Amino acid sequence: MANQLSLAVGPGTVLRLLTSLVLALVLWGWVSNVQDPEKTEVYAGIPIAEGPLAPGYDIVTTLPPATVHLTSPSSVLDGVDQSHVKLQLRTDDIEGPGSYRLRVDLVEPDGIREHEVTPSEVTVNVEETMTRSFPLDYRLPDLPPEDTRQVGDLRPDVSEVSVSGASSLVERVATVRLPIDIGTRTDDFRATFEPRAVDGEGNEIREVMIEPRSVSVFVPVSARGKTVAVITQVVGEPAEGYEVVDRTVNPPAIVIDGPSNLLENVISVSTAPVDISGATTNVTRRVQIEPLPPGIQLLESSGRNVDVVVQIRQQGIQQSLPGQRVEVVGAAPGLQANVSPAELALVVVASEEELAALERGDIRLQVDVSGLAPGTYELRPNVSLPPNVEWIRTEPSQVTVTVLPAGADASPPAPASSEAATPPASPTVTGP
């Protein structure tokens, strides 16, 4: 029976079976390619990571970026972007310091049918690593001359750091600086700053590692110099019949700087003299600050020039103006107010011309009873006068005001009792 089965499966049958298998594989491949076609993607600028090195060695060559061609079915590459492509330098053959030509391996992504990396090999130099300690160079920040702040002694948490890396790089390090930035701060503060290794020409060496990587520093910041008043010097006299009313200077104070023992003795500075000889109107000048004492200087932000205004007016005559009627304002609806006395004498100072030109409508005396309930009050009237007329006093200084319901007896009020409310209103002088 076995012999009969062997004879039935002859060479022709085997050939047909093989042919069918090949055709099936070809058909499967064709269908797969139609449904999930193969494609190639190119990824440029891929960094090459260093592989693991034995302790005590370091690659000092800067590894170039690589270009990677990946070929695989679309279903695989559709989910791959630049961040998924990882390369690593094969460092298995590194045995010590020297020059090596090493292969670049694709480590991600998985499931790629074909790939090509350019460059596929990189020549690198390997050196022994070393560690050296350096004192921390924490310099005060440079502030512009006009800055009104000063920085005291810095207090970092550490005074020394260690620098590790390839021997040739560590040997280039001349100092480790700690740059301090105070920004716009005006008070003491604590902040963290990163030290930087630099060579003899001040170029930063980024390839080394510094420990600690950041240093906390207390930075004392305070105001620089001293603020003092500016005093206006006036020389000469105004024209006959005129007088100096006031003098102003802008800015009214400046900042000076110098040794503390000298600053303590300076209370104010003076302007250059302003001559008002024969003046009949205000005198405005832009003048300089007088020379400062030896050892004292003016901060740039203050400026050496100031603006001075000397106010001049005609000398006035004190005059009493009797019979000025007092007006009551602000009575609430349903209330009325009586005032006693109804007229006052007003004492003013003005020039003869101003006094002669005064009219009744130029002078107003008012008492405001807004918000007052019925009752009797002692109030000071408010006085309104033209700008060039100065109020001195009213005689008497207060009036008695009675607030009562509208239509009530309007006979003169009795003298105010000690229980009467007396709002502390003061006369005010306003222009028209």
CATH number of the domain enclosing 291: 2.170.120.40
Same domain, 206 and 235: no
In a domain, 430, yes or no: no
Q: What's the chain's average pLDDT? A: 85
DSSP string, 192-238: EE--EEE-TTS-B-TTSEEESS-EEEEE-EEE-SEEEEEEPPEES-P
Which two three-digit tokens encode residue 333? 């609806």
Q: What is the pTM of this model?
A: 0.45
Residues 112, 87: Cα–Cα separation, whole Å: 14
Q: What percent of the chain has pLDDT over 70?
A: 85
**Structural domain range at position 210:** 138-223
Note the pLDDT tens digit of each residue in 336-362: 999 999 999 999 988 888 888 888 789
CA 183 to chain CA mean position, Å:
8
pLDDT given for residue 5 in this prediction: 44
Q: Which residues contact 299 (CB under 8 A, 6 or more apart)?
A: 145, 146, 148, 224, 225, 254, 255, 256, 257
Residues 431, 383: Cα–Cα separation, whole Å: 10
Exposure of 42 by Cβ count < 10 A (0-12 exposed, 13-18 middle, 19+ buried)? exposed
pLDDT given for residue 424 in this prediction: 39
Residues 13, 6: Cα–Cα separation, whole Å: 11
- The region of weakest confidence among 6-10, 36-40, 237-241, 351-355 is 6-10
pLDDT given for residue 300 in this prediction: 65
The residue with greater pLDDT, 411 or 391, is 391
Note the pLDDT tens digit of each residue in 170-196: 999 999 999 998 888 888 999 999 999
Last residue of a domain, one of 205, 223, 241: 223
Q: What is the CATH number for 121?
A: 2.170.120.30
In a domain, 352, yes or no: yes
Which two three-digit tokens encode residue 279? 């003046």
Contact 151, 182 (CB under 8 A): yes
Residue 309 clears pLDDT 70, i.e. is over it: yes
Last residue of a domain, one of 170, 192, 223: 223
Neighbours of 154 (CB within 10 A): 15
In a domain, 286, yes or no: yes
Domains of the chain: total: 5
Residue 28 clears pLDDT 80, i.e. is over it: no
Note the pLDDT tens digit of each residue in 2-21: 444 444 556 666 676 676 66
- The region of weakest confidence among 152-156, 169-173, 416-420, 426-430 is 416-420
